[in-house]
Structure 1
Amino acid sequence: MRNAVLIARAKSMRTAPSEPEQRMWLALRAARFAGVKFRRQKVIGPFIVDFASRVPMLVVEIDGDTHAERTIEDDDRSRFLEQQGYRVIRYTNHEVMTNLEGVLTHLAGVVATAPLPTLSPEGERAL
């Protein structure tokens, strides 16, 4: 039953994002933010994250008021995503709505200091 509720909520968020998510998406979409390609509402394992990029491996979550009551679930979720190689960055709805420029400046710093992807020794450049 709980999974059905989560799936219905996720579908609703895809078609009608919250205003903070909409504002953030307008700043991130189409690789216009620091040349990073973000995807919105990306499925990673059992979770749907707000925004994710593969290079760098980064998840950006916009947390509403309900997240204050769900710290254990959020910690478990972040731990899983980090085990998949993602760095998880969280901002609140309030931060996005009142200081989007500051949020984007912080995120630009995170992107600039993200570790470079590890290339396979047997990749294209191998001799």
Structure 2
Amino acid sequence: MRGSKPKTIARARSLRQSDNDAEDKLWKELRDRRLNGNKFVRQMPIGPYFADFACRELRLVVEIDGSQHADSRRDGIRGNGWSVVRFWNVDVLSALPSVLDTIVAICDGRLVERVEAMDLRFFPAVRE
């Protein structure tokens, strides 16, 4: 959060303290470079949004949401050079190994095409 505005820092801290069960469960797997050595951070501001999890090196945002975001248009425009993958809370809680396998596939460059399925949305970064 180097160089960020105090309000942004306060908002990110507030979001980190109010993680839901799914975010908490996934964070335990992503923190401390536990997922194939990739460094993830929580509640990172990107433009006007806060990414649930982000890997700066790979420019990958991982979002964990409930069904209220099923028709979210933000995923596609949120990119700004970042790839965005969205999982549902229920999938993180009930099928964590599959979620982790998908994140690893993205990190390894094995999943590069856009995916819009019921249980997964992946928007690769738009490169100019």
Question: Matched residue pairs, number?
Answer: 102
Q: Could you state the TM-score of these two structures normalised by the residue count of structure 2?
A: 0.71
Match of 1:80 in 2: 77
CA distance in 2 between counterparts of 1:51 and 1:34 reads 15
Q: Root-mean-square deviation (CA), in Å?
A: 2.1
User: In the alignment, is residue 91 of structure 1 matched against residue 91 of structure 2?
Assistant: no
Q: Deviations over 1:17-41 (max 9, x none)?
A: 1000000000001111111111101
Q: Could you state the TM-score of these two structures normalised by the residue count of structure 1?
A: 0.72
Shift of the 51–9 alpha-carbon distance from structure 1 to 2, 3 Å rule, reads same
Match of 2:56 in 1: 54
**Gapped regions of structure 1 (runs ≥ 5):** 1-7, 116-127
Query: Which is greater in Rg?
Result: 1
Q: 1:64: how far off?
A: 1.2
Shift of the 65–79 alpha-carbon distance from structure 1 to 2, 3 Å rule, reads closer
Greater percentage in helix: 1
**Gapped regions of structure 2 (runs ≥ 5):** 1-9, 113-128
Aligned match for 1:67, one of 63, 66, 69: 69
Match of 1:25 in 2: 27
SS in 2 for 1:107: helix
Q: 1:9: how far off?
A: 8.4
1:78 partner letter: D
CA distance in 1 between counterparts of 2:59 and 2:91 reads 23
Q: 1:67: how far off?
A: 1.5
